[in-house]
Amino acid sequence: MSTPLDSPESGGTATLDRELEELLEEEAIEPGDHERFSHYVKKDKILESAITGKPVRALCGKKWTPGRDPEKFPVCPTCKEIYESLMS
Residue 85 CA to residue 87 CA, distance in Å, equals 5
Q: C-alpha 66: how far from its chain's center?
A: 7
Residue 35 pLDDT: 67
Tens of pLDDT along 27-82?
Answer: 454 555 556 899 999 999 999 999 999 999 999 999 989 888 889 999 999 999 99
Q: Which of these, 56, 59, 45, lies nearest to 87 by C-alpha position?
A: 59
**What three-state secondary structure class fits 42?**
coil
